[in-house]
Amino acid sequence: MMTYTTLTIVALPALMFLFLGLLGGKFKPAVAGIIGTLGLTIVAALSYMTAFQYFFQVGKVDGVYQQLTALNVNWLTLTDKLHIDLGILLDPISVLMLVVVSTVSLMVHIYSMGYMKGERGFQRYYAILSLFTFSMLGLVVATNIFQMYIFWELVGVSSYLLIGFYYTKPSAVAASKKAFIVTRFADLFFLIGILLLSFYSGTFSFVELNDPNGSVLGQPITATFMGASVLSWAMILIFMGGAGKSAMMPFHIWLPDAMEGPTPVSALIHAATMVVAGVYLVARLFPLYAFGAPEVLTIISYVGAITALFAAVVACTQTDIKRVLAFSTISQIAYMITAMGVSGYGGHEGLGYMASMFHLTTHAFFKALLFLGAGAVIHAVHSNEMKDMGGLRKYLPITHITFLIACLSIAGIPPFSGFFSKDEILVAAFEHDKLIFAVLYLTAGLTAFYMFRLYYRIFWGENDKQYHHTPHEAPLNMTFPLMFLAALTVVFGFVPFGSFVTADRLPYEGHIQWPIASMSILVGVVGILIATVMYRKSNDKPDRVAATVKGLYKASFNKFWFDEGWLFVTKQILFKRVSAPIAWFDRHIIDGFMNLLASVTSSVSHRIKGIQSGELQDYAWAFYMGTMVIVVLVILL
């Protein structure tokens, strides 16, 4: 029963993509949009049904959530043991992701009907959205790591296509290329990691790999390379792939540029779903990390913590509202990654894992809400820059309220959902590593500060600002997703998340730890207050603060020169020192040898061309002389 439902969930968007991609041009844009949205509505409904069945009816056996393989098709057989399958695996995290992805995707589909109205290539837009949804759903239900890798690349492609949607704009083309190349570069490590892992363990299957008592772990642990076990190396390489997709330092450079795409796309792909694929990857292989390579988890937690702080600092100085949100996304995903890193396997130890998935879910809802709200603002004022905004709260009342809810949620103010998930991450970090806790705590304060800076700059400030034409509230198909997501943001925190999703799939009763919770509320409130003082009304305080910490401000404004650093590495070192000599070798030695062969052949044939004169009598003469010679030879010998 669940086989067909889940198969439909994955296959329907794929059919939608083919249908809209091949025949979309035949319809009116609005019809194509409605078809895509209806398809997604079915997918979302089926996802909710699957989730209900899984969590409340069939999933739980003896108090443990089972890993159900709803479908498994042998696709490629490499050896008897090693084969690549395509299938559907249902366990708490994949079912959770089904719900998250289909919900956000549905909201974005609805929203796009208003936002993208009248754009060229409207049908193409919906076709690629369907492709993305298909790939992301295929990724989350993957039964084995290779299937995950296939869909992983597919989401990369659809992300590329959507960032470059405005393909007549050079900056969008550059951004899509950058996103694709950077993530693809990281995926190279992912692939090496997969090959290493499967070579030593002899399996791709998640169920076999993740079996804590499994025998597959034996060989990868005992085999060592450069002082660490092969398993650790494989897990580090796999995490690098995840870091690429999830924009961890130093692979984060593509995400801010990806904001060149249409805003609903940023909400769907670059905030809620695709960028959390890295977190999902770590969660998927968590038992391997926890039992096989705990030292890699430590690395992961530090990478996450540094990225979280770095991105939060950068977000404080950006002026493009979508870029602020992009850096905020990097920072929040780093939060989830850190939570994974500080987690243990089961029970109270596994709090970090649970908190990470919880934050993933709540973040998906409120960050999608923030992006869609930002889209409504951009729709109203036709600009991404903060300086073109201000005082919008009376023009865009619904956007204003929903945006405020999302800001409060991300700042960690109760009773909004962000408070619950963030609090649990902080508790997990506090119990594991005080240094990481301090970094995350500081980041939480910065988060509240930059979000409210954004909020005040958009909706408050200069009340009498003159607009060319009065900004107006977005149509209902844009405000409905905002309200829906806002409602989710408000209520989702009260879901007893621990009783559904934990590392060992045993229900876990979490309680709010008030000492740490009150500290996190405090730092959130302080951040908001500072932002209020500085940005509530337009004044010169921000400039004065910027002047006092000039170096830091400049570094932050220029994103700590990471882009320049990568450009230096690629252009100066890779292109000049490596590629250029290789190109010279290719052009002069290899091509030269071939050219030499060709020119020798050509000159020789030029010389002997004269023999073939076309004169009949010359040929006859040669023939006779030849016959004579043969006759003479025959007679003599």
Partner 1 sequence: MEAYLIVSTVMFFAGVYGFLSRRNMLTILMSLELMLNAADINFVVFNRYLYPGQLDGTFFALFAIGISAAETALAIAIIINIYRNLKNIYIDEVSKMKY
- Print the binding letters for residues 555-594 with partner 1: x by CB under 8 A, - otherwise: ----------------------------------------
Q: Does 168 bind partner 1 (CB under 8 A)?
A: no
Give the shortest CB-612-to-partner 1 separation in angstroms.
Answer: 10
Q: Which is nearer to partner 1, 387 or 606 (CB)?
A: 606
Token representation of residue 36: 């895509």
224 or 613: CB nearest partner 1: 613
State the Cα–Cα distance between residues 201 and 510, nearest whole angstrom.
35
| Cβ at position 615, least distance to partner 1 in Å | 6
* Contact in structure between 551 and 457 (CB atoms under 8 Å): no
Enumerate residues 279-308 that contact partner 1 by CB under 8 A. Answer: none
Q: How many CA atoms lie within 13 A of 519 on its CB side?
A: 13
Q: How far is CA 396 from CA 57, 356, 459, in A?
A: 43, 33, 9
Which residue, 526 or 620, is less far from partner 1 as judged by CB? 620
Among the listed residues 615, 633, 634, 636, the single contact to partner 1 using CB under 8 A: 615
**Residue 326 token pair:** 């992009």
Which of 128, 94, 104 is closest to 2 using CA atoms?
94
Task: Indicate the SS3 state at residue 354.
Answer: helix
Q: How many CA atoms lie within 13 A of 588 on its CB side?
A: 6
CB 623 to partner 1: min, Å: 10
- Near partner 1 by CB under 8 A, which window of 477-485, 488-496, 498-506, 613-621? 613-621
Kindly state whether residue 624 participates in binding partner 1, applying the rule CB under 8 A: yes
Q: Kindly state the smallest distance separating residue 605's Cβ from partner 1, in Å.
A: 14
DSSP three-state, residue 282: helix
Stretch that binds partner 1, among 99-107, 278-286, 468-476, 609-617 (CB under 8 A): 609-617
- With CB under 8 A, what is the number of residues at the site for partner 1? 7
- Please give the structure tokens belonging to residue 180: 């694709």
Residue ranges in 382-475 assigned as alpha helix (H): 397-411, 417-432, 434-459
CA distances from 289 to 112, 300, 313, 353, 557 (A): 39, 10, 30, 12, 36
Contact between 630 and partner 1 per CB under 8 A: no
User: Measured from the CB of residue 571, what is the shortest distance to partner 1 in angstroms?
Assistant: 52
| Residue type for position 571 | K
Q: Closer to partner 1 at the Cβ: 4 or 624?
A: 624
Q: Which of 167, 561, 575, 621 binds partner 1 (CB under 8 A)?
A: 621
Q: In terms of CB distance, is 15 or 628 closer to partner 1?
A: 628
Q: Which is nearer to partner 1, 62 or 615 (CB)?
A: 615
Q: How far is the CB of 171 from partner 1 (least distance, A)?
A: 56
- Tell the smallest beta-carbon distance from residue 174 to partner 1 (Å): 53
Question: Least distance (Å) from partner 1 to the CB of residue 592?
Answer: 32
Per CB under 8 A, the list member of 213, 466, 548, 617 interacting with partner 1 is 617
Q: What kind and span of H or E run contains 564? A: helix 562-567
Six-digit token string for 147: 């299937």
Strands (E), 57-201: 60-61, 64-65, 68-77, 83-90
| Interface mask toward partner 1 for 421-450; x: CB under 8 A | ------------------------------
Task: State which residue, 616 or 635, has the beta carbon closest to partner 1.
Answer: 616
Q: Give the binding range for partner 1 (CB under 8 A) out of 117-125, 398-406, 448-456, 608-616.
A: 608-616
Instruction: CB nearer to partner 1: give 616 or 637.
Output: 616
**Of 341, 505, 300, 368, residue with least CA distance to 425:** 341
Q: 549 or 620: whose CB is closer to partner 1?
A: 620
Residues in the chain: 637
Three-state secondary structure of 176-222: HHHHHHHHHHHHHHHHHHHHHHHHHHCCCEHHHHCCCCCCCCHHHHH
Cα 258 from Cα 269, distance rounded (Å): 10
- Count of Cβ atoms closer than 10 Å to residue 29 Cβ: 20
Compute the distance between CA of residue 389 and CA of residue 380 in angstroms, rounded to an integer: 10
Question: 215 or 613: whose CB is closer to partner 1?
Answer: 613
Q: Assess 616 for contact with partner 1 (CB under 8 A).
A: yes
According to CB under 8 A, which one of 118, 227, 551, 614 is a site residue for partner 1? 614
* Candidate ranges 229-237, 258-266, 436-444, 619-627; the one touching partner 1 (CB under 8 A): 619-627
Q: CB 631 → partner 1: shortest distance, Å?
A: 13
Least distance (Å) from partner 1 to the CB of residue 599? 23
Options 9-17, 342-350, 570-578, 610-618: segment touching partner 1 (CB under 8 A):
610-618
Q: Which of residues 453-472 bind partner 1 (CB under 8 A)?
A: none
Sign of the alpha-carbon dihedral angle for 480, 484, 489, 490: positive
Distance CA 365, CA 103 (A): 9
Min CB(613)–partner 1 separation in Å: 9
* 551 touches partner 1 (CB under 8 A): no
- Considering the complex, what minimum distance in angstroms separates the CB of residue 26 from partner 1? 54
| Least distance CB 627 / partner 1 (angstroms) | 10
CB 598, min distance to partner 1, A:
22
Given candidates 573, 583, 604, 620, which one binds partner 1 under the rule CB under 8 A? 620
3-state helix, strand, coil split of the chain in percent (to 5) is 75, 5, 20
Cβ closest to partner 1, residue 491 vs residue 631: 631
Q: How many CB atoms lie within 10 A of CB 236?
A: 18
CA distances (Å), 103 to each of 18, 133, 138, 361, 637, in order?
A: 22, 11, 15, 11, 97
Nearer to partner 1, 602 or 612 (CB): 612
> What letter represents residue 211's amino acid?
D
| Contact of 325 with 371, CB cutoff 8 Å | yes
> Cis link prior to 415 (omega < 30° from 0)?
yes
Applying CB under 8 A, the span of 15-23, 35-43, 565-573, 612-620 interacting with partner 1 comes to 612-620
Q: Name the one residue in this structure whose structure tokens are 């900004």.
A: 471
Cβ proximity to partner 1: between 52 and 621 the closer is 621
Query: Judged by CB, which is closer to partner 1: 616, or 634?
Result: 616
C-alpha 566: how far from its chain's center?
20
Amino acid identity, position 462 = E
Contact 89, 146 (CB under 8 A): no
Instruction: Please report how close the Cβ of residue 616 comes to partner 1 at its closest, in angstroms.
Output: 6
- Nearest distance from residue 257's CB to partner 1, in Å? 59
Give the footprint of partner 1 on this chain (CB under 8 A). Answer: 614-617, 620-621, 624
